[in-house]
Amino acid sequence: MSSSVPAAVSPTRQALRRVRRDRSARLGAWLVIGLIVIAALAPLLVRLAGQDAYTYNIGLLDPARGNAPSGTAGGVSGDHWFGVEPLTGRDLFSIVVLGLRTSLFIAAVCTVVTTVVGTLVGISAAYFGGWYDAIVSRLLDFLFGFPQLVFMIALGIIVPAGFPRWLLLILVISVFGWAGLARLIRNQARSLVTREFVEAARSVGSSGWHVITRELLPNLLGPVLVVATMAVPGYIGLEAALSFLGVGVPPPTPSLGRSISDSIVWVYTGTDPWFLFFPGAMLFLAVLGFTLLGDGIRDAFDVRLRRAT
């Protein structure tokens, strides 16, 4: 199939063309673009709505129903597009879009960090091989089998109160996150290293750095891109999960996961399910969008993502 395409079109171009033709990938791409725009403009949107995420509006709550929002759908109104938070009356729209901003920011930074680290470790392990590769592989095995969430929660205890929590989240997620990417890149690079063009480059005396950056890296761009995209929804979910468990960004910084966690009691009593709906839907859309896009890119690049060796 690929042989019928003129040689002038690079594989990356071809892959992107395939992404554009894939209906669900297109949907994912639009979702992702939309969410990124919302997250980027969140402070502006909040100001546009004439609200902020911190002001208490006790007047909008119904004390008879345990301070759930008065009015329909969690107090949705022209002022409060998504209604207000129960118990505090803070504007839920502001909380949701700013929470999305937090989520995407943390996920984006984690993706960049883990992609860079994972690629470097993966390629170098494949290139140098030997004991270095053996140690890296063992370490990856270890990180893979490790109960990461347990450790992430536990780490919360040793970090001083003054340490910024968002940075802790990024560190914790990244420390475990690079392993998957490193293993995949290592396996892909491993099959490249034995190929002729790499051996040719080595035999004419190219330095390791040259082989890695000029020969291996360009050939691995596809897989790297695929894994990076596919990692994003995982990080969004993980950040939300940690916030949900109470070890994410501290209040009053808005966070989707914490809002969802706060909504538990309102769901249990059935007094304000809308408090779950808005942050939950936003989180769902974010994960769905990146998953669809990631799947599309994976199919387009035809990368085998078998975790098993």
**Chain residues in the site for another protein (CB under 8 A):** 142, 144-151, 153-158, 160, 233, 237, 240-241, 244-247, 260-261, 263-264, 267-268, 270, 273, 276, 280, 283-284, 287-288, 291-292, 295, 306-308
The angle subtended at Cα 238 by Cα 35 and Cα 298, nearest 5°, is 65
What's the closest the beta carbon of residue 79 comes to another protein, in angstroms? Answer: 26
Report whether 45 contacts 97 (CB < 8 A).
yes
How many helices (H) and strands (E) would you count in the chain?
Answer: 12, 2
Give the integer Cα–Cα distance in Å for 171 and 28. Answer: 28
What's the closest the beta carbon of residue 276 comes to another protein, in angstroms? Answer: 5
How many CA atoms lie less than 13 Å away from 288 in the CB half-sphere?
12
Give the integer Cα–Cα distance in Å for 48 and 54. Answer: 16
Kindly tell me which of 116 and 267 has the beta carbon lying closer to another protein.
267
* Residue 68, SS3 per DSSP: strand
Kindly tell me which of 30 and 151 has the beta carbon lying closer to another protein.
151
What's the closest the beta carbon of residue 191 comes to another protein, in angstroms? Answer: 17
* Residue 84, SS3 per DSSP: strand
Kindly tell me which of 152 and 220 has the beta carbon lying closer to another protein.
152
**What's CA 2's distance to the chain center, in Å?**
32
What's the closest the beta carbon of residue 287 comes to another protein, in angstroms? Answer: 4
Kindly tell me which of 127 and 266 has the beta carbon lying closer to another protein.
266
Kindly tell me which of 108 and 267 has the beta carbon lying closer to another protein.
267
